[in-house]
Structure 1
Amino acid sequence: MTTSPDILCIGSVLWDVIGRAPNPMRLGSDVPGRITRLPGGVAMNIAMTLRRFGMRPALLSAVGRDAEGDELIATCARMGMITSHIYRSDDLPTDRYMAVEGANGLIAAIADAHSLEAAGDKILRPLKGGTLGGPGRPFGGIVALDGNLTEALLEEIAGSDLFAEADLRVAPASPGKAERLTPFLDHGRATLYVNLEEAGLLCHTQFPSAGAAAEGLLARGAARALVTDGGRSAAMGIPGAVIDKTPPEVLVTRVTGAGDTFMAAHIVAEAEGAAPDAALDRALAAAAAYVSGDISA
């Protein structure tokens, strides 16, 4: 497989450990279900959807040189990811994410991405003087960036000449990390992918709908913004217009990774030349198929 990527996915690449129960759950529930382990992390989830649609993603992340890391790298390579640019650490363990989901959605989750944060800008070495770029030769393609990086590194990326020609697509890893994306509000070219809660955190308010949130993000300086709200209407905000679309109604069987699937499908649609409303439709359809279980994890 060629080592020339169509897109860079920068952020968390880890093991997802997900417990799913077929019934509604609450705090303290102890119920039968299924526990799975599969490659995950925001950058990885985006890359997996990109591969399903035929793109060649390169991963920029931190993965330990432990047994879990070796297995993760091998699994990513088998899926068709370009893994040669991943920073492999001798003294940092491979990161993990653990979640519990019931029929009523996500109950709780813990993201252990400490190794990615500790690695810092080491994950950007291929862009600073490697095969992907360097001073005077910035990467000029699409970059999917996730908010699991530290605030300092995200701020560096937002102002770095290394990304001056990149088509930046940025998403928080979770509502708890949404405000890390603040430097991209006035970036000028970055596209933000957030849910309704994350949009409110970035704008320090509460929005009644995805459309209102998209308008709010544009008012705060965002070049473009896509806002989702579960099964309710999603919106895309571009200068001078906000497009609202309602997702297909499906039976929800899982939620972890749905936002990443939405983002990746939208990137692919636009890369193929789809108009804004058509790209939003395709992204919502892909996310609906994912949460319904019609697409393999």
Structure 2
Amino acid sequence: MEENSAQRRLQCLCRHLLQQYDAGSAVLRQVLMNGGRLDSGEGRDRDGEAVIIGGMVLDIHAVPSTPLVSGTTSPGKVYYFHGGVARNVAECMSNLSVRPFLISALGHDMAGNLLFEHWKLAGLHTEGIRRHGDIRTAVVCSTLDINGEIATGVANVQDIETFVSAEWIQQFRYQIRSSTVLMVDANLGPSALKASCQLAAEYDIPLWFEPVSLSKSKRVVPIVKHVTYVSPNEDELIAMANELSPENTIPSIHMNESKKDFSPEILFKFLKPAICVLLEKGIKVVLVTLGPNGVLVCSRGGVGLWKISQKSQKSFPRGQIINSIFSCPTRVFLDLGKSANDSSYLFALHIPALPATVQKLTGAGDCLVGGILSSISAGLDLIQATSVGVAVARATVESEENVPSFNLQKIADDARWVYSAARVLFHGPMQ
């Protein structure tokens, strides 16, 4: 009993020192994170099903109750949300009973304290969150239109690039080595993205790139050959393709009517050239988020569409919750025959969205990715996982939170419907 009490006190002291510790010895960090023991990482508690690297942000949303008028204020409400792409993805995974490991940075300011305390209260890993007095916690202030879309905003997120550095990320190689998938968001700077890719390659971990925004999506260029999965919307997809292949500019989609009035076939026809650029540059699977039109899952041949990770979900018992409630026989979408591994063939699958009563659209894309990554950790294949992600996205847009709590049984029921409605849009030559 006394030994257990002493061990608890030692662990408490280590956690305290860890929060004060910043950029010193990686060996010291390893000792602190192991309760005073130095080991090689073998046999440690492998409860980080995925490692998520990127931004933690305080989101301020101004929501007008009347149409916006330039040059004056509009009546409405102002809300504060815990945000940031990486943070949202990780919290979504936690709310789906999967425990991710988040690597990020926060200041000791009001916004940082708010975000950090929320993370601690959720019982999530805090070791990967760098805290320093010189950090200005990322804040994004957005004004939404009356439809819930972002009309304009200001983002102060540059310290994520400075303090979520390559050196900081490299100290968590043990968590990355034992993960099923590593996700990076495009808030990271070039050296941090490169370090993440090197670690993923070293440990043969699939790398997921989340574009974040139109301008930041272009940061994929130096690391494209290391990216396994990417999840852009239509505009980000075209921006990435044009940056990767500037000699063949692909026009943006300009439509007078709402995109929801266009069929998945028409949207795919517009987007196919950009999808092919990303695949030809080395990305294995492109998931294009189409909002109310669902998701396109595209790869060369059919390779990579099923199991993302070879690691068994038996290593991660919490993930079995999703696996157990998603009891749906695996569908054979197409007999690919000899072309299944033919890289000259493009395979495109459409996964439909669910009808939703929209409260707020921000956070939906992040939760889509969070639902997919949670399901991957549970051992589902990519099509099953994306079906879960679509169900999670629906629950998110019907909530006023960036990341709501989820009814897992409702998510499973919705995901089964989505999965049953998935269909092959295209299977033929890349060109």
Q: TM-score, normalised by structure 2?
A: 0.61
One-letter amino acid of the counterpart of residue 192, structure 2: L
One-letter amino acid of the counterpart of residue 195, structure 2: E
Q: 1:57 to 1:195 in 2, by over 3 A?
A: same
Is the CA contact 2:51–2:175 (under 8 Å) kept in the aligned structure 1?
no
Query: Post-superposition shift, 1:173?
Result: 1.7
Structure 1 residue 42 corresponds to structure 2 residue 90: no
Q: Please state whether the residue corresponding to 2:137 is helix, strand or coil.
A: coil
Q: Please state whether the residue corresponding to 1:197 is helix, strand or coil.
A: helix
Identify the residue that residue 290 of structure 2 maps to in structure 1: 229
Is the CA contact 1:214–1:236 (under 8 Å) kept in the aligned structure 2?
no
For 2:167 and 2:67, locate their aligned partners in 1 and report how far apart those are by CA, in whole Å.
42
For 1:40 and 1:216, locate their aligned partners in 2 and report how far apart those are by CA, in whole Å.
31
Identify the residue that residue 106 of structure 1 maps to in structure 2: 150
Identify the residue that residue 39 of structure 2 maps to in structure 1: none
For 2:348 and 2:72, locate their aligned partners in 1 and report how far apart those are by CA, in whole Å.
41
Is the CA contact 1:9–1:144 (under 8 Å) kept in the aligned structure 2?
yes
Identify the residue that residue 241 of structure 2 maps to in structure 1: 203
Structure 1 residue 68 corresponds to structure 2 residue 174: no
For 1:3 and 1:220, locate their aligned partners in 2 and report how far apart those are by CA, in whole Å.
33
- 5 Å-filtered alignment, 1:48-197, equals 48-104=91-147, 105-119=149-163, 120-127=165-172, 132=175, 138-160=177-199, 164-187=203-226, 190-197=228-235
Q: Please state whether the residue corresponding to 1:218 is helix, strand or coil.
A: helix
Is the CA contact 1:214–1:242 (under 8 Å) kept in the aligned structure 2?
no
For 1:206 and 1:82, locate their aligned partners in 2 and report how far apart those are by CA, in whole Å.
43
Larger radius of gyration: 2
Is the CA contact 1:215–1:242 (under 8 Å) kept in the aligned structure 2?
no
For 1:218 and 1:3, locate their aligned partners in 2 and report how far apart those are by CA, in whole Å.
32
Q: 1:20 to 1:221 in 2, by over 3 A?
A: same
Which sits farther off after the overlay, 89-98 or 29-38? 29-38
One-letter amino acid of the counterpart of residue 165, structure 1: D
Q: 4, 9, 19: which one pairs with 2:52?
A: 9
Identify the residue that residue 258 of structure 1 maps to in structure 2: 364
Identify the residue that residue 278 of structure 2 maps to in structure 1: 217
For 1:37 and 1:215, locate their aligned partners in 2 and report how far apart those are by CA, in whole Å.
40
One-letter amino acid of the counterpart of residue 225, structure 1: V
Unpaired stretches in structure 2, ≥5 consecutive residues: 1-44, 243-249, 254-266, 302-346, 405-431
Query: Post-superposition shift, 1:28?
Result: 4.4
Identify the residue that residue 238 of structure 1 maps to in structure 2: 299
Is the CA contact 1:103–1:252 (under 8 Å) kept in the aligned structure 2?
no
For 2:371 and 2:237, locate their aligned partners in 1 and report how far apart those are by CA, in whole Å.
20
One-letter amino acid of the counterpart of residue 54, structure 1: S
Q: 353, 356, 377: which one pairs with 1:271?
A: 377
Per-residue CA deviation, residues 147-173 of structure 1 (Å, 9 max, x unaligned), is 001123213332446754222221012
Which sits farther off after the overlay, 214-223 or 78-87? 214-223
Which sits farther off after the overlay, 170-179 or 287-296? 287-296
Is the CA contact 1:47–1:81 (under 8 Å) kept in the aligned structure 2?
no
Higher strand share: 1
Per-residue CA deviation, residues 180-215 of structure 1 (Å, 9 max, x unaligned), is 02234322x521111111110111124653562444
Q: Please state whether the residue corresponding to 2:215 is helix, strand or coil.
A: helix
Q: 1:54 to 1:273 in 2, by over 3 A?
A: same
For 2:69 and 2:241, locate their aligned partners in 1 and report how far apart those are by CA, in whole Å.
30
Per-residue CA deviation, residues 262-286 of structure 1 (Å, 9 max, x unaligned), is 1111112233333433322221221
One-letter amino acid of the counterpart of residue 240, structure 2: L
Q: 1:255 to 1:160 in 2, by over 3 A?
A: same
Which sits farther off after the overlay, 233-242 or 51-60? 233-242
Per-residue CA deviation, residues 200-255 of structure 1 (Å, 9 max, x unaligned), is 01111246535624444223321111111222242011231211122122232212
One-letter amino acid of the counterpart of residue 42, structure 1: V
For 2:78 and 2:202, locate their aligned partners in 1 and report how far apart those are by CA, in whole Å.
39
One-letter amino acid of the counterpart of residue 114, structure 2: E
Q: Please state whether the residue corresponding to 1:186 is helix, strand or coil.
A: helix
For 2:51 and 2:153, locate their aligned partners in 1 and report how far apart those are by CA, in whole Å.
26
For 1:48 and 1:185, locate their aligned partners in 2 and report how far apart those are by CA, in whole Å.
27
Displacement over 6 Å in runs of 4+? none
One-letter amino acid of the counterpart of residue 50, structure 2: I
Is the CA contact 1:157–1:163 (under 8 Å) kept in the aligned structure 2?
no
Unpaired stretches in structure 1, ≥5 consecutive residues: none
Structure 1 residue 288 corresponds to structure 2 residue 394: yes
One-letter amino acid of the counterpart of residue 273, structure 1: G
Q: 350, 355, 360: which one pairs with 1:249?
A: 355
